[in-house]
Amino acid sequence: MGKKNNTFFCKECGFETTGWTGKCPSCGEWNTMVEAPITPKSSKSSTPTRTANQFSWTSQTTTVKLSEAQELTYEKKSSGIPELDTLLGGGITSGGVFLIGGEPGIGKSTILLQIANSFKSDGVVMYVSGEESASQIASRADRLDCNKEKIVVCTRTCFEEVAKELDSIKPSLVIIDSIQTLYSESITGTPGSVSQAREVTAGLVRIAKSNNLPIFLVGHITKDGNIAGPKTLEHMVDTVLYFEGENLGTYRILRSIKNRFGKSGEIAFWEMTDKGLMPVDNCQSLLISGHPVNVPGSTITSTVEGSKAIAIEIQALLTPTGYGNPQRMTMGLDRNRTTMLLAVTDKYLGLNTPSMDSFINVIGGLKVADTALDLAVICSIVSSVRGIPVKENTMIVGEVGLSGEVRPVSQLYQRISCAEQTGITTFVLPSSCQKTVEKIKQDNEFKYSSKNIDKKTKICDKIHSLEFVYVDNIAEAIDVIFS
């Protein structure tokens, strides 16, 4: 009798191994390894171009000079949602593969059903669901007022069967909900495992490229917030969209992490209603709408996401620690950089933060990595420790170095425009940005002086009505802000 070969994979990260272990060697989680018996490859025949693991992703097999390569013209069709078109680089590109990830219940299936309903095309939209029945999807479509005649639902999870349905129906758009539920009969392993997710995605990419068929994929996430499965899934697809924010609230943030057809880093704000996800118009001031007045530990700053700046609120709470080692908790900010800023405040401002627990949060659930927030974080820390609120209607930007100096920030024009739209009266920024601000003022005067347009004239007046305060180091900034 031959030896039975078994494989085990991690339910959290998808790591595979031939023997069971209590702790996953990849993600470090305990009791997540489950057994998946290795089955022989199926003898069922399938269309060669639809086999998940036989051919390259593209049909180009010859080596040519770049000057002789044929230039392809990608056709883009509107999704029917202008904010989503901006994230995708102008619309849904033919032959593009788009991956959407996010927390359970945050709205992935909802927005995809809205796309299926509003997609500008004469053909039908094929919705492949491995998690819900057709009646469940029809019930959601009724709630969202979707046109059910243009949407066909396929509840199969076998890749080869789904490929045959694509051949017969020939849809204009395909939605896979979710990629972790699909499996190929020619590949060993259970649905959601590393090998299945990688090869099935590769097969869908080949279908998309060879038929100029746009495909949307839903990706599950792990406990750490990353898309489940191998990282190669994100390398395979053309665009990666990710939902951020707290799924218990009414607002959602959709971020473009990767985009081969446009600019990555763009974000769009949505509001969850009984009619689905609705775009938010005035997103520049959305995250500071509930900003408390005259409360210590709260500051307003701006971060640039894609092509626009957004005003955000940073709150800090520092209290005497009751432990041997103080806690350092951050939400939305890099923990290591925040620890560095705490050390800078101790060195140059004389704060005794090592004896305090530190809790620093970006309101709204937005994750930011912009170094221009450094000075605002330090001001929040000082405000919380001293119990003094920051001056009202003040926006603070500036990168802070290890010697306490305030360094210049990029994309200053977008940040100033954001300050205008949010009712800011005082703008604190590095002294090295003074020439840039003067140039922006001169450009606005030249641009609007010969045009009698009321709206643009008001924008120009707002720029000149802002009070710009320039600082060189954090000690000077604290003196100015809290004086």
- What is the tens place of the pLDDT at every residue in 335-350? 999 999 999 999 999 9
3-state helix, strand, coil in the chain (%, to 5): 35, 25, 40
Read off the amino acid at residue 379: C
Residue 370 has phi, psi (to 5 degrees) of: -80, 125
Task: Tell me the pLDDT tens digit for each residue of 122-154.
Answer: 889 999 998 899 999 999 999 999 989 999 999
Q: Are 193 and 16 in contact (CB under 8 A)?
A: yes
Write out residues in the chain with pLDDT < 70, as ranges: 1-5, 11-12, 14, 36-61, 70-73, 223-225, 228-230, 245-249, 444-464
Report pLDDT for 450.
45
Residue 294 has phi, psi (to 5 degrees) of: 55, 45
Question: Longest Cα pair distance anywhere in the chain, in angstroms?
Answer: 91
DSSP string of 235-280?
HHSSEEEEEES-TTSSEEEEEEEEESSS-TT-EEEEEEETTEEEE-
Tell me the pTM.
0.76
Rounded distance between C-alpha atoms, residue 222 and residue 10, angstroms: 11
Rounded distance between C-alpha atoms, residue 218 and residue 189, angstroms: 20
CA neighbours closer than 13 Å in the CB half-sphere of residue 280: 20
Tokens of 151: 């949407």
Rounded distance between C-alpha atoms, residue 479 and residue 483, angstroms: 6
DSSP string of 363-387?
TTS-----GGGHHHHHHHHHHHHHT
Report pLDDT for 284.
73
Count other Cβ atoms within 10 Å, centred on residue 122.
6
Read off the amino acid at residue 150: K
User: Can the peptide bond before residue 417 be classed as cis, meaning omega within 30 degrees of 0?
Assistant: no
Q: Which residues contact 392 (CB under 8 A, 6 or more apart)?
A: 293, 294
Tokens of 264: 């990555």
Report pLDDT for 446.
47
Read off the amino acid at residue 102: G
Q: Which residues contact 48 (CB under 8 A, 6 or more apart)?
A: 54, 55
Q: Are 177 and 112 in contact (CB under 8 A)?
A: yes
Residue 436 has phi, psi (to 5 degrees) of: -65, -40
User: Can the peptide bond before residue 289 be classed as cis, meaning omega within 30 degrees of 0?
Assistant: no
Report pLDDT for 430.
95
Compute the C-alpha angle 233/239/242, nearest 5°. 85
For the four alpha carbons of 38, 39, 40 and 43, in that order, the dihedral sign comes to: negative
Q: Are 481 and 470 in contact (CB under 8 A)?
A: no
Q: Are 416 and 466 in contact (CB under 8 A)?
A: yes
Report pLDDT for 59.
58
Q: In the beta sheet, which residues pair with residue 310?
A: 303
Helix (H, G, I), strand (E, B) or coil at 227: strand
- Assign residue 145 a region: left if phi > 0, alpha if psi is -120 to 50, beta otherwise? left
How does strand 308-320 pair with strand 356-362?
Answer: antiparallel
How does strand 267-273 pair with strand 251-259?
Answer: antiparallel
